[in-house]
Chains A and B, each alone.
Chain A
Amino acid sequence: MTALPSPAARPAALLVVVVALLAPARAVQAQPAQSTLQAQSARAPERSTRVSLRSRMGLAESPFPSADAHKISGLLTSLLLEGEAPVAPALAVRLRLPLVLADIDEPAGAARSENAWGHPEAAVLWRVRETAAASLLGRLALAVPLPGGDAALARRPLDNQVLVLASAQRGYHDQELYAPGRVALTPSARIAASRGRVDVFGELKLPLMLAVGLGDVDPRTKVRRLAIASAAAAGAAVSWWRLRAGATLWSVVDVIQAAEIRGAAARRWTLTIDPEVSMRITDHVGAGLTATIPVAGALSALPAIGFVVTGAW
């Protein structure tokens, strides 16, 4: 976890992310208008270059594998900057960079301000099959923790809570970006279909998360070298005029837990729904609102809301 100065540095850190998003978007606005904004289109990977910034904000809670803190909570803003560009007719590359700004709750009611980068991820996307109405996409992604003090999963109860909470805030369906101290190799497949104004899709990914260091593990906590999760999604969206509305249902199962308190039951399954409404503002830029709402499983009912800004050209 590479901590950022806090809290005064938060606007500066955010500006870096926002500028990174806006700079290319401004540049492409002068280009011919044949580019269109296609957020979450059925025909991924896009043949256009896309950049997006997604956020989640709100209170978050998560089980935590420490005998001293079975549950952790905090007020989080997490940002996920994503860029995708075609490199060949059937290939594209995708980069994702997560940033988390957090107030982590302390036991008696105080809070610690902590900011952390999640794991930058690079992925190769392969359009396996495509017809006029449907597509099958394969993806292989590698996420690597940034250098810093985040190599240990369970050194002390107060370590690594930022990333765990950020993962919880997104319903654990992007664990590969937030698994403390773990390199994640994530194969996934996505199938999508379109008919008229309606897009539907399904996705399955299997992040394999390998601990790069186990640190001074609390003897009461069992930490595994390899953790595996299974995240399955099904979603649909409707487009009309400049608007697009949809929802994605995510089911996440921890096939092999990263860590657990010895003898204590741990999180195994989480079901969330992510609604999203967006609007195309210009030919190149769109914006919208999104959320993650826990439905069942390990998470308590703490929905997170957020915004999404997309650019394409």
Chain B
Amino acid sequence: MRAIAATILLLATGCQALESYRYCSELAPAQLAALPARLSETGLYTDVGADTVAAGVMPYRPAFELWSDGASKRRWIALPSGTRIDTSDMDSWVFPVGTKLWKEFARDGIRIETRLLQRIGAGEGDWTTMAYLWNDTNTEASAVPDGIEDARGTSHDVPAANECAGCHGGRPARVLGFSAIQLSGDASPGMLTLDELVSRDLLTSPPAGRLELQADPDARAALGYLHANCGHCHNQQRPARIGERCFDPENTLDFLLRAGELGDVTQTATYRTAVGEAIKRGDPGGSDVVKRMSSRRRLPPSMPPLGSERIDEQGVAAVQTWIRGLR
């Protein structure tokens, strides 16, 4: 009978234990209360119906984008007046309290949601997040702290507020697509760049120049893709865990590009931690990275394990091409 009881316990708890990495702590009431119920009250727009963005809100586009199942995205940042970003650590910028970043998602021409990431205190983890769901007339968006599946008749899922930590909780800065490396690319007209941040005196320690990976186009595309899509979870400089595991991979893989490692691809964290392990030289089919990217399974978890239901065929192809050329 003890064996039966032990089996019962093992079976019943084992299934859940396999997926404990998916637990993300709920936001504290103060974090939820810090954000308004409507997007028009967050400071992004002066006229939300006319899509008129407020003064001081700056659009930007990262050099390497996060795959979001083909959604088209717009991004903005607003720094509190008179403040600067602490860039003494070029790989982990520290944003002033009150910083706001917005990201809008549209699918098939339908504007679905705009997410807000806002620093609300001086502590490293003092950020809060919220998604706002657009109404049918595109005149307002309302906070949806519980998220929504298949929003506005599309297959796009709006995340619950606590799910945002699944990606943003993996970096001390919490901000992912707004960094020295991500703003060093060739920007579209009107988009904020690293050069412009420097010229506007918005950085405490301006870099000497652009931070671009010195590599052939295949390596740059693949390593940039892994940086933007995998590095926020898979990196060895995650902040101390607060609460649940929340997509902490608990392994040693590191796909981040860092300012001091851009001169030689073999010095990058991906080469140091993944090549020879999850990445097999010349063998994309045998590389676990490609296998995980090429599936959408629950167990073993596909990559990314959240925020995506469709495989990024172009992204997979870019990584495959690079791996095929590795000798």
The residues in A between 78 and 118 inclusive whose CB is less than 8 angstroms from any CB of B are: 79, 101-103, 106-113
With both beta carbons as reference points, the residue of chain A lying nearest to B144 in the complex is identified as: A68
Bound CA–CA A15/B13 (angstroms): 11
Question: Does any Cβ of B come within 8 Å of A307's Cβ?
Answer: yes
**Most chain A Cβ neighbours within 10 Å, of B12, B20, B166, B304:** B12
The reply to whether A75 and B16 contact each other, CB–CB distance below 8 Å, is yes
Once A18-B5, A107-B159 are accepted as A-B contacts, the answer to whether A70 and B306 lie under 8 Å apart by CB is no
| B117 CB → nearest A CB, Å | 15
Once A68-B144, A156-B146 are accepted as A-B contacts, the answer to whether A307 and B11 lie under 8 Å apart by CB is yes
The reply to whether A103 and B149 contact each other, CB–CB distance below 8 Å, is no
With both beta carbons as reference points, the residue of chain A lying nearest to B306 in the complex is identified as: A109
Question: Does any Cβ of A come within 8 Å of B54's Cβ?
Answer: no
Residues of A within 8 A of B163 (CB): 106-110
The residues in B between 5 and 28 inclusive whose CB is less than 8 angstroms from any CB of A are: 5, 7-9, 11-13, 15-17, 19-20, 22-24
Bound CA–CA A7/B163 (angstroms): 18
Residues of B within 8 A of A68 (CB): 144, 146, 148-149
Bound CA–CA A156/B306 (angstroms): 23
The residues in B between 272 and 327 inclusive whose CB is less than 8 angstroms from any CB of A are: 298, 304-308
A10-B16, A106-B24 known, 15 other contacts, Cβ within 8 Å: A18-B5, A68-B148, A70-B149, A101-B12, A101-B13, A103-B22, A108-B307, A109-B163, A110-B160, A110-B246, A111-B22, A111-B23, A157-B146, A158-B146, A307-B8
Question: Does any Cβ of A come within 8 Å of B1's Cβ?
Answer: yes
**Choice from B13, B148, B307 contacting A10 with Cβ under 8 Å:** B13
Bound CA–CA A70/B247 (angstroms): 26
Bound CA–CA A287/B9 (angstroms): 15
Question: Does any Cβ of B come within 8 Å of A22's Cβ?
Answer: yes
Bound CA–CA A306/B7 (angstroms): 11
Question: Does any Cβ of A come within 8 Å of B270's Cβ?
Answer: no
**Choice from A14, A70, A108, A112 contacting B157 with Cβ under 8 Å:** A108
With both beta carbons as reference points, the residue of chain A lying nearest to B6 in the complex is identified as: A18
Once A68-B148, A156-B146 are accepted as A-B contacts, the answer to whether A110 and B9 lie under 8 Å apart by CB is no
* Interface stretch (choices A51-59, A164-172, A173-181): A51-59
| A61 CB → nearest B CB, Å | 12
The reply to whether B307 and A109 contact each other, CB–CB distance below 8 Å, is yes
Question: Does any Cβ of A come within 8 Å of B4's Cβ?
Answer: yes
Bound CA–CA A77/B8 (angstroms): 10
Once A75-B16, A110-B160, A110-B247 are accepted as A-B contacts, the answer to whether A11 and B23 lie under 8 Å apart by CB is no
| A53 CB → nearest B CB, Å | 7
**Choice from B1, B12, B305 contacting A109 with Cβ under 8 Å:** B305
With both beta carbons as reference points, the residue of chain B lying nearest to A72 in the complex is identified as: B149
Question: Does any Cβ of A come within 8 Å of B147's Cβ?
Answer: yes
Q: How many A residues face the partner with a CB closer than 8 A?
A: 39
**Choice from B9, B19, B149, B166 contacting A75 with Cβ under 8 Å:** B19
Bound CA–CA A159/B274 (angstroms): 41
The reply to whether B1 and A22 contact each other, CB–CB distance below 8 Å, is yes
Residues of A within 8 A of B148 (CB): 68-69, 107, 157
Residues of A within 8 A of B5 (CB): 18, 22
Bound CA–CA A79/B159 (angstroms): 30
Residues of B within 8 A of A220 (CB): none
Residues of B within 8 A of A11 (CB): 9, 13
| B239 CB → nearest A CB, Å | 18
Question: Does any Cβ of A come within 8 Å of B158's Cβ?
Answer: yes
| A11 CB → nearest B CB, Å | 6
| A44 CB → nearest B CB, Å | 24
Question: Does any Cβ of A come within 8 Å of B150's Cβ?
Answer: yes
The reply to whether A110 and B23 contact each other, CB–CB distance below 8 Å, is yes
The reply to whether A55 and B8 contact each other, CB–CB distance below 8 Å, is yes
The reply to whether B157 and A107 contact each other, CB–CB distance below 8 Å, is yes
Question: Does any Cβ of B come within 8 Å of A195's Cβ?
Answer: no
Residues of A within 8 A of B162 (CB): 106, 110
Bound CA–CA A287/B11 (angstroms): 14
| A177 CB → nearest B CB, Å | 18
**What 0/1 readout, one digit per residue, does chain B (126-160) give for beta carbons within 8 Å of chain A?**
00000000000000000010111110000001111
Query: What are 8 inter-chain pairs, A to B, with CB distance below 8 A?
Result: A7-B23, A14-B13, A57-B11, A101-B16, A108-B147, A108-B157, A109-B306, A113-B20
Bound CA–CA A110/B164 (angstroms): 9
| A130 CB → nearest B CB, Å | 32
Question: Does any Cβ of B come within 8 Å of A232's Cβ?
Answer: no
Residues of B within 8 A of A110 (CB): 22-24, 159-160, 162-163, 166, 246-247, 306
The residues in B between 239 and 259 inclusive whose CB is less than 8 angstroms from any CB of A are: 246-247
| A104 CB → nearest B CB, Å | 10
With both beta carbons as reference points, the residue of chain B lying nearest to A108 in the complex is identified as: B159
Bound CA–CA A103/B19 (angstroms): 8
Bound CA–CA A212/B20 (angstroms): 34
Question: Does any Cβ of B come within 8 Å of A123's Cβ?
Answer: no
| A81 CB → nearest B CB, Å | 11
